[in-house]
Amino acid sequence: MRVVIAGGHGKIALLLERMLTERRDQAVALIRNPDQVTEVEATGAEAVVLDLEAATAAQVAATLDGADAVVFAAGAGPGSGAARKDTVDRAASVLLAEAAAAAGVRRFVQISGMGVDQLPAPGTDEVWAAYLTAKAAAEVDLRGRDLDWTILRPGGLTDDPPTGKVALAAPPLPRGQVSRADVAAVILTLLDEPKTSGMTLDLVAGSTPVGAAAREVAKN
């Protein structure tokens, strides 16, 4: 399987790239900063320098040639302002989905966040509200496309070691945290579960092994 990952230098993406490599799949990481190439290649992934805030859909589609799946793991990140929440968390996802459709890559896994479909409460920090708005808009766009998409909404992210056990279900799950390593493992499993296409799934730490959790939601 050849998987192209947008936001390829993010913590979840790096973990996912290593997992794909370890099972002899091909991971392609789309990154904005050439200084990140060495760290990406250390996972066994191929690094492609491409700024999704400046690229065209045709340029992105060219990087998807021969891909079996696409993962949107990009985000503007801490310290970014409201404007970049829109250009990365929304617009870059829309661009990648458009490119995937043009390239004929149907499988698309989008990393979102728990509760992004809820309106920001009055008084919410402007940047956080912009993040929620951008993620929600990216979800709406993806649902409207003729792709085999799955939207994954993790809870609060930690750098704890993987547990291999999660709670994975259609929203809403109770609020909670989940390690980035477990998120990466779930994404890997979702890529192997085409019956999760068309699903939006909450994810937090839990008691069900990752594979079993994915198989269970695939039955529904």
**127-153, pLDDT tens digit by residue?**
989 999 999 999 999 999 999 999 999
Contact by Cβ (8 Å): 135, 184: no
Residue 67 has pLDDT above 80, yes or no: yes
Q: Does residue 178 carry a catalytic annotation?
A: no
Residues 103 and 68: their CA atoms lie apart, in Å, by 10
Q: What is the CATH number of the domain that holds 132?
A: 3.40.50.720
Contact by Cβ (8 Å): 47, 27: no
Residue 121 has pLDDT above 80, yes or no: no
What does DSSP assign to residue 32?
S
Which residue is catalytic, options 19, 131, 168, 201? 131
**Domain total in the chain:** 1
Q: What are phi and psi of 33, to 5 degrees?
A: -105, 120
Report the first-to-last Cα separation within the chain, whole angstroms: 25
Q: Give the residue ranges of DSSP H helices in 23-168.
A: 37-41, 57-63, 82-84, 91-103, 126-143
What is the span of the domain harbouring residue 98?
Answer: 2-219
For 80-91, the pLDDT digits (tens) are: 899 999 999 999
Segment 23-28 mean pLDDT: 98
- Model confidence, pTM: 0.97
Interhelix angle 180-191/11-22, rounded to 10 degrees, is: 50
